[in-house]
Amino acid sequence: MNPKSLHTTLTCAIALALIAGTGVARAADTSGADVRVLSFHADVHVQPGGAYTDAQTQAIEALTRTGAQSLNPYQEEFSKSMSTLKVESAYIVKADGQRIDIPAADIVVRPAPAPPGSDGSPIYDNNMMLSVALPGFNKGDMLHLQTLKTQTKPFFVNQFFDVWGPAENQSARDQKIVVHGPAGMHLRAAQRGGWTIARSSAGGVDTFTATLAEHHAEFPGTATVDASDYSPVFEVSSFPSWAAVGAAYWSTAQAKAAVTPLVKQVADQVAGKLHGWDAVKALYMWESQHIHYIGLELGVGGYVPISANTTLKTGYGDCKQHSTLLEALLAARGIQVDPVLINWSNGFNLLPLPGLDFNHAIDYVPKYHVFLDATGEFETPGQLAIGERDKPVVISGPHPRLARTPGAESAHNKLVYDATLHLAADGTLTGTAHMTTHGWWAWFNRMIFSEVPPGAYGRLMNMLLTPSGGGSGSFQPGNPQLLDQPMQVAASWTTPAYALPGKTLSVPLPAGPYLVPSMAGTSDPVSALTAVIGPDSRRHSVSTYFGEVDWHSTLSLPAGYAPTYLPPDENLHNAAGRFTYTVKDTNGTVSASYRLKLDHIVYTPAQYPALRALMLADLRAQRAPLVFHHT
């Protein structure tokens, strides 16, 4: 499914410049941006059926050598089956004021390379790429460009939706969008972030004019939510409600989920004598493991699925096909399932007005109040993965409505790590561990051990041990295909020179190979969260896909060592979550217990201080050394 169309200018910076013909008064830029947009104007004329024309004029300056390279060639993508795009005018103004017209031979249209999906799966579309080569384009030069896009076919008949705005890391000035549309379409406009909107009506046409005088570039800190949650946007939509968006999708998708004889045959073969939730799990797991993900975004196919019957025959499909097939399979067993539109990203809010603000399709089972994503080959049934939680969604189907997916659910998204460690007199550490993972932790571990062959377990172990001194070992994973059970992984390893026993002995904990979503290669999960708590305050919300981590380690020391210093017990419970940590020594055997539970995925600026206090307590405890002396 195509993401929303976002008319953005390029990365830019604050410009105090006057554009007059080919002459420009340039001012120094201190934002750190590589390019800046000096002006961006769009004039949009919407037709009654939803088709439209969009004439754009913009001026962009390269502030650095990197900026010049990023602009050359200038590229813009469009769907050849739904639209046309052409250049009306293109020229360069050099830093010394010389104008260079771009020859027609340097303006080409070719098939756009389709990037792979997030998991490397292929994506097929019929998009084209307009490419404008910029001869001799260097630092200090400016591109002046006029284009005309004609959208000949809307995604949904009689509907229009679009959104414009500079991204977070862009500085922009002189932004002006004018949208003309038939009064009968009942277009509405809204903004966020400082746009000014004026509306007028004449001759059966409504006109919206939006201007943004200036937007300063912003470079938010690590773990900040997606810029779509807070960047300035101007939006125009004909959809009266989010339920209307769901109804529009259902109008084209409903027939594709028909229960054909083939659908019925497969459903009965897979589910057999199972009923209720057991049948849901069986059919979900079968589909997620037997239907290969391939993106199919051909024209309106970005929002219209291929039939369930066809998907069964071909054995592949994108998110819409997966969603539609699961609806049909479960319908064949008398279980209602509704399609769901969701944005798989690090954004957690919808745009001000309803529209096509989604890039992914999943399912909702009303009877059990669970969301299912059959594209997730390794997801626990009923437990959504990273990128799908705590999200506003539109449930389509016969009763379309706005809803929200479950949030952190710490008890269901948890890593439990138990390790038994032995430190030899020469400082060599040997260890065994058992990891039990749930929810998104299990999703990641299943994915790892489905893709990494047993012969590579040693290399994976070495990589994970590297931050704590290296070493060797291996894993003994459970069956990653058992999606309705926690994922179990056992590990054994040896780390030479883990510590240096002498008159005194300092030992770091935890030790061993953690397998953590997006954190592989770190010796402990919390280290990846340190960047989150750097600033004293945050301007925007931060996201922390964490849930809960419990680890317990028992470490036997060489003979004759007694504790000199052990960290004090920690027990902090606040609005962000809970952290506990205890370390005890019993006759040369050290027992350490750790628990960190975060109650939310998203923490607002107001909630951030509680998160920071929790994480600081955690870091202080883990960085405190365990010190022993030889008696």
299 has pLDDT over 60: no
Q: Measuring CA to CA, how many Å separate 520 from each of 434, 463, 524, 526, 543?
A: 17, 8, 9, 12, 18
Task: Give the position of tokens 């570039």.
Answer: 217
Taking only the tens place, the pLDDT of each residue in 497-548 is 899 999 999 988 877 776 654 433 344 555 556 667 778 899 999 998 888 9
Taking only the tens place, the pLDDT of each residue in 217-241 is 888 888 899 999 999 999 999 999 9
The ranges assigned to domains in the chain are 6-238, 246-406, 411-630
The burial of 561, by beta-carbon neighbours within 10 Å (0-12 exposed, 13-18 middle, 19 or more buried), is given as buried
Cis peptide before 480 (omega within 30 of 0): no
Torsion of CA 337, 339, 344, 350, to 10 degrees: -120
Calpha distance 512→551 (Å, rounded): 11
Residue 47 tokens read as 């037709």
Q: What percent of the chain has pLDDT over 70?
A: 89
Residue 626 tokens read as 């365990």
Taking only the tens place, the pLDDT of each residue in 42-97 is 999 999 999 999 999 999 999 889 989 999 999 999 988 899 999 999 999 999 99
Enter the pTM of the model. Answer: 0.86
* CB-side neighbour CA atoms (13 Å) of 308: 27
Q: What is the pLDDT of residue 29?
A: 57
Strands 292-293 and 316-317, by their bridges, are: parallel
Domain 6-238 has CATH 2.40.50.140: no
Residue 517 tokens read as 């979503």
Q: What is the pLDDT of residue 25?
A: 43
Q: Measuring CA to CA, how many Å separate 293 from each of 281, 289, 448?
A: 19, 10, 18
Let me know how many helices (H) and strands (E) the chain has, helices first: 9, 39
Q: Which CATH class is domain 411-630?
A: mainly beta
Q: What is the pLDDT of residue 625?
A: 85
169 Rama class: left (phi>0) / alpha (psi -120 to 50) / beta: alpha
Identify the three-state secondary structure at position 104.
helix
Task: Give the position of tokens 């379309």.
Answer: 400
**What band does 121 get if pLDDT is binned at 50, 70 and 90?**
low
149, amino acid identity? K
The distance of Cα 398 from the centroid of its chain, to the nearest Å, equals 29
Fold classified for 246-406: C8orf32 fold (3.10.620)
Strands 6-7 and 161-164, by their bridges, are: parallel
Residue 430 tokens read as 């040997």
3 has pLDDT over 50: no
Residue 271 tokens read as 């589910």
Please tell me the chain's helix, strand, coil percentages from 3-state DSSP, rounded to the nearest 5: 20, 35, 40
Q: Measuring CA to CA, how many Å separate 589 from each of 431, 476, 556?
A: 14, 26, 4
Q: Which range is least confidently modeled, 117-126, 465-474, 567-576, 584-593? A: 117-126
CB atoms within 10 A of CB 82: 19
Calpha distance 252→576 (Å, rounded): 43
Strands 561-565 and 548-556, by their bridges, are: unpaired
DSSP 8-state code for residue 334: T
Can you list the pairs that 573-577 forms with residues at least 24 positions away whose Cβ atoms lie under 8 Å? 574/610, 574/613, 574/614, 575/599, 575/607, 575/610, 576/600, 576/603, 576/607, 576/610, 576/611, 576/613, 576/614, 577/410, 577/611, 577/614
Taking only the tens place, the pLDDT of each residue in 611-627 is 999 988 988 887 888 99
Taking only the tens place, the pLDDT of each residue in 32-48 is 778 899 999 999 999 99
260 has pLDDT over 60: yes
**What band does 115 get if pLDDT is binned at 50, 70 and 90?**
low
- Is the four-CA dihedral 209, 215, 219, 223 of positive or negative sign? negative
**What band does 5 get if pLDDT is binned at 50, 70 and 90?**
very low
Calpha distance 602→606 (Å, rounded): 11
Calpha distance 583→592 (Å, rounded): 4
Question: Which range in 31-35, 167-171, 457-461, 570-574 is most confidently predicted, on average pLDDT?
Answer: 570-574
How big is the CA angle at 356 (ends 354 and 359), to the nearest 5 degrees? 130
What are the phi and psi torsion angles at 327 (to 5°)?
Answer: -60, -45
Q: Measuring CA to CA, how many Å separate 5 from each of 2, 151, 159, 162, 527?
A: 8, 12, 14, 6, 37
Calpha distance 505→498 (Å, rounded): 11
Which residues, in sequence order, are bridge partners of residue 86? 148
Calpha distance 281→484 (Å, rounded): 7
Calpha distance 5→12 (Å, rounded): 20
What is the pLDDT of the chain when averaged over all its residues?
88
Calpha distance 532→607 (Å, rounded): 13
